[in-house]
Copies of this chain bind each other. A is one copy, B any other.
Amino acid sequence: MSAATIKDVAREARVSVASVSRALNGGHGVTAETSRRIHEAAQRLHYVPHAAARMLITRRTNTVGALLPDLYGEFFSELIRGIDLAARARGLHLLVSSSHDDAEAAAVALRAMQGRVDGLLLMSPHADADFLRQNLPHDLPTVLMNTRLAGNDYCALSVDNDGGARLMVEHLLAQGHRRLVFIQGPPGNRDAVERELGYREALASHAPGCPVLTLAGDFSEESGYRAGQQVLAMRPRPDAVFAANDMMAIGCMAALRDAGICVPEEIAVGGFDDVPMARYVTPPLTTIQVHIAELGSQAMELLGEQIDQPGSVPAGTRRHVGAELVVRASSGAGIA
């Protein structure tokens, strides 16, 4: 008792398979009456078209692949949520392959997706131009997410790290702080360097007189703590710290607290990411929120357009998803 095929429906409805196919897709070139009979028959037999057969002849899988690196927590969840939502809205299925920590694993996963997807959402720290040219079928619609820009061959969607960082700096300046210090992320990290760039730009354009101070960090809470200790040793002492991510900001605040310094009265602190914990630390952390789900859904939209009408999106298209300032107590807003 295998599943019913289109032939069974045709027999049941006393028409040819061609008519069944026509009636069930679009319904062009078939009488209302026959269409009704066919739909009834299909209903009766619980007919569901065989996806593989359809793919074979149609050359469309109605599936997109998402290739993701080793991602954790909130970020991963939100990203997938955004992608999934947008994909469903377009009637596309989502093939996920995650947790690739090295280029080799990513390449393997990529090849395995060959032919199973109509398009690809790709986020990978290893995705440089070479990697892509090596492992991507060059005629497969692809959108890069938050990836080192690789030439102009692919579309890419990124978080507006630069703009977000500028927002934070402007906010800190507006609070009256004049001696800002930036805690950097891991050296090669794209997000980190973009955020630092935004910090420098904003300082240059809004407060050219202020010194441009930076401290090393690596996104970890511990590195934030160490940076906090260095802040205390600086003379003259900074009056505001902007960490390249929230975890370092939290570590930094811990260092300041341990030294008996009050946040935000003596030193203001800002972070980046708006991790869930940011609102729970004391004082709650002022930070930059990025809509990760939107990153996913917009990437999916972009990909969808490419799939529906190839060539509609020029290769090398770049888009950004915005970032937003979330003011909490750590930056001293509301304090004279």
Contact = CB atoms under 8 A, between A and B. Distances in A.
Interface of A: 3, 48-53, 55-56, 61, 63, 71-77, 80-81, 84-85, 88, 93-99, 109, 111-116, 137, 250, 276-277, 280-282
Nearest to A115: B51
A81 B275 CA distance: 20
Contacts of A280: 250, 277, 280-281
A48 B94 contact: no
Given A84-B96, A95-B95, 13 more contacts: A48-B115, A49-B115, A50-B56, A51-B61, A52-B56, A56-B56, A72-B77, A73-B276, A76-B77, A81-B98, A93-B116, A94-B95, A276-B276
Given A55-B52, A277-B280, A84 B61 contact: no
Given A48-B114, A51-B115, A112-B93, A84 B56 contact: no
A295 B3 CA distance: 32
Nearest to A113: B93
Of A88, A137, A282, most buried by chain B (CB within 10 Å of CB) is: A88
A210 B183 CA distance: 52
B115 A99 contact: no
A282 B113 CA distance: 46
Nearest to A250: B280
A88 B111 CA distance: 13
A120 to B, nearest CB: 14
Contact of A96 (B3, B96, B113, B277): B96
A88 to B, nearest CB: 7
17 contacts: A3-B137, A49-B115, A51-B61, A51-B115, A52-B61, A53-B56, A56-B56, A63-B95, A76-B76, A80-B98, A81-B99, A84-B98, A93-B95, A95-B95, A276-B276, A276-B277, A280-B281
Contacts of A63: 95, 116
Given A277-B280, A281-B280, A73 B84 contact: no
A77 B81 contact: no
A51 B95 CA distance: 14
Contacts of A95: 63, 93-96
Contact of A85 (B74, B99, B112, B281): B99
Nearest to A93: B95
A71 B280 CA distance: 21
